[in-house]
Chains A and B, each alone.
Chain A
Amino acid sequence: MIIKEKVIKYGENVDTDVIIPARYLNTSAEDELASHCFEDLDENFREKVKGHRVIVAGHNFGCGSSREHAPLSIKASGIKAIIAKSFARIFFRNAINIGLPVLVSPEAADFIKDGDELEIDLDKGKISDITGGRVFDIPPLPDFIQKIIDSGGYIKFTSMNIKKT
């Protein structure tokens, strides 16, 4: 899959409380969650996401709570992928489980600037910064995780296996 989108750039330790504040967690409706995504970090996110659909950030993206509402609200906002120097563990597995591409590349996360246009080739594992004129390789994921992604998420992967047995 190829993703061609512009970038919204954030800093270090973006936590789940700013991705989706707990005060909105009394629902699991995706659209409603999306309408509050990043509201405590960036009041212009709702506007920006109309034309910028890749997030690039620093270390420990998604730290804090286990709320799957965080990657869900990002995905439902229209974001196609997140590139970070590193991800918090639970956020990383949640994103994979729901089929939101999360790419670890400290070099790319350093180099790419807010507003840059990117072309991400998920199959080949390449991030091209068209604006900045550089290409970054992303290391392949472990087999088992790739299988989950290829199945379209952990639930589809599981239901296929349940049917088989």
Chain B
Amino acid sequence: MEGKKRPQTMAQKILAAHCGKEYVEEGQIINAEVDLVLGNDITMPLAIKEFKKTGAGKVFDRDRVVIVPDHFTPNKDIKSALQCKVIREFAHEYGISNYFEVGRMGIEHALLPELGLVGPGDLIIGADSHTCTYGALGSASTGVGSTDVAVAMATGKLWFMVPKTVRFIYEGSLGPWISGKDLILYTIGLIGVDGALYKSMEFTGPVIKRLSMDSRLTMSNMAIEAGGKFGIIETDDITLEYLKPRYKGEYRIFHSDIDAPFEKEYRIDCSSLKLQVAMPHLPSNTAEAGQLKDIKIDQVVIGSCTNGRIEDLKMAAGILKGRKVHSRVRVIVIPATQGIYLDALKQGLLEIFIEAGCAVSTPTCGPCLGGHMGVLAEGERSVSTTNRNFVGRMGHPKSEVYLSGPAVAAASAIAGRIAVPGEVI
């Protein structure tokens, strides 16, 4: 092997680069330097408590810690207000430059890419499971716990196990209304909620090469729903165009070697792919939306870190324009960040939503985790563009969540039952 480098996956290369090595082995445990550490109003108070116990005195880099109060904000009750106060005061006391207050914030996983805080080749951790979202920008990015964040804030380092990689190659072309959400729901349905446990998922193929950045972010976002550690997409021209106006960091562009040790490869022909829905109570419980026409609904949520971006809102507005929400349905539209909110306003989307009879909210996680702004009662059913449909996820343990992309959500809002756009436009 003298002189010839051992082939590696993108995940291996990024991790190796962060622990000063040329090569890391799958399964190996490494202590690596992280580029960015993220926490929110639920996980950060606990991380702060643990951080103080380390005796570090200061954070490793005040520009590399990001704190976003997004889950229960604007503060839903006194206890949430107290949690938010803890993180706000910490941010102030420790000089955290990336703290985003209500009015300037957004759901963390929509906000960080938008502001250019994450980019190719970065190693990012966040005390939030959907931190895997930034894999769409060619980074290795993953969710961890509060103690991990505490240690990383104190030392700038964290332990990682180098994951194996499973590759998903999407071929063919996408039919009308099909978006990244349908691709990822279909994939999770195919491999199951632990189908990529501990693994790096790498999304590639001609369909991905043509896929918009917003749809890519949706796909990487839900890697965790298959148990994945990373949800990586190679950096290409679409990524670079997205990054150009925003990302100030160093571009470290990695590609998996052709002969890298992929554990498994799936080839998915997308030409016949239909709009997808994940039925209660697992994201892997997928079906074609067109086959669920008898399912009546009470609520529709369009938003979250999965589908609260401008492309999603445009798609939903395209269907709702000039139409009315069904009389027994309430629709809650939540642009994921202030930036997206403003964009939607300028593009006239908010007007379309309001005229159709939707409630439009300031950015928040809100109903996605059954926090506030659209909690379900016993026996109620929601179609939602969010990412989890576990028991009790959006409210009462006997309520139900059907996960979909924005097209099915908007069509269902009009029909009062699960529907596809062709039925209402």
Interface residues of B in 69-104 (CB under 8 A from A): 71-72, 76-77, 79-80, 83
Minimum CB–CB distance from A158 to chain B (whole Å) comes to 5
Please list the 7 inter-chain residue pairs (A to B) with the smallest Cβ-Cβ separation, ordered nearest first.
A94-B145, A60-B194, A26-B79, A97-B147, A68-B145, A22-B369, A17-B390
Residue of B nearest to A143 (CB): B29
Chain B residues with Cβ under 8 A from A163's Cβ?
A: 55
Chain A residues with Cβ under 8 A from B131's Cβ?
A: 66
Q: Report which of B46, B77, B126, B229 forms a contact with A28, defined as CB distance below 8 A.
A: B46
Do the beta carbons of A66 and B143 come within 8 Å of each other? Answer: yes
Q: Tell whether A6 is near chain B: CB-to-CB under 8 Å.
A: no
Residue of B nearest to A59 (CB): B194
Q: Tell whether B50 is near chain A: CB-to-CB under 8 Å.
A: yes
**Chain A residue total in the interface (Cβ 8 A):** 45
Give the CA-CA distance A56 to B227 in the complex, in Å. 20
Do the beta carbons of B197 and A88 come within 8 Å of each other? Answer: yes
Minimum CB–CB distance from A116 to chain B (whole Å) comes to 25
Chain B residues with Cβ under 8 A from A76's Cβ?
A: none
Q: Tell whether A67 is near chain B: CB-to-CB under 8 Å.
A: yes
Question: What are 27 A-B contacts defined by CB distance under 8 Å?
Answer: A17-B388, A17-B392, A18-B390, A18-B391, A18-B392, A22-B71, A25-B42, A25-B72, A26-B76, A26-B77, A26-B79, A28-B46, A41-B391, A64-B129, A65-B369, A68-B147, A86-B197, A89-B198, A89-B229, A90-B129, A90-B145, A94-B144, A94-B146, A97-B147, A158-B154, A159-B53, A162-B155
Chain B residues with Cβ under 8 A from A65's Cβ?
A: 128-129, 369, 388
Q: Report which of A40, A66, A148, A162 forms a contact with B154, defined as CB distance below 8 A.
A: A162
Q: Tell whether A155 is near chain B: CB-to-CB under 8 Å.
A: yes
Give the CA-CA distance A68 to B47 in the complex, in Å. 9
Do the beta carbons of B43 and A145 come within 8 Å of each other? Answer: no
Q: Tell whether B56 is near chain A: CB-to-CB under 8 Å.
A: yes
Chain A residues with Cβ under 8 A from B43's Cβ?
A: 66-68
Do the beta carbons of B392 and A66 come within 8 Å of each other? Answer: no
Do the beta carbons of A162 and B145 come within 8 Å of each other? Answer: no
**Chain B residue total in the interface (Cβ 8 A):** 53
Over the window 73-110 of chain A, the binary record of Cβ atoms lying under 8 Å from chain B Cβ atoms (1 yes, 0 no) is 00000000000001011100110011000000000000
Q: Tell whether B408 is near chain A: CB-to-CB under 8 Å.
A: no
Give the CA-CA distance A40 to B394 in the complex, in Å. 13
Q: Tell whether B282 is near chain A: CB-to-CB under 8 Å.
A: yes
Over the window 331-369 of chain B, the binary record of Cβ atoms lying under 8 Å from chain A Cβ atoms (1 yes, 0 no) is 000000000000000000000000000000000000001
With A93-B144, A158-B151 known, 6 other A-B pairs at CB within 8 A are A15-B390, A17-B388, A25-B42, A89-B227, A145-B159, A159-B55
Q: Tell whether B184 is near chain A: CB-to-CB under 8 Å.
A: no
Over the window 39-71 of chain A, the binary record of Cβ atoms lying under 8 Å from chain B Cβ atoms (1 yes, 0 no) is 011000000000000000001100111111101
Chain A residues with Cβ under 8 A from B79's Cβ?
A: 26-27
Q: Tell whether B45 is near chain A: CB-to-CB under 8 Å.
A: yes
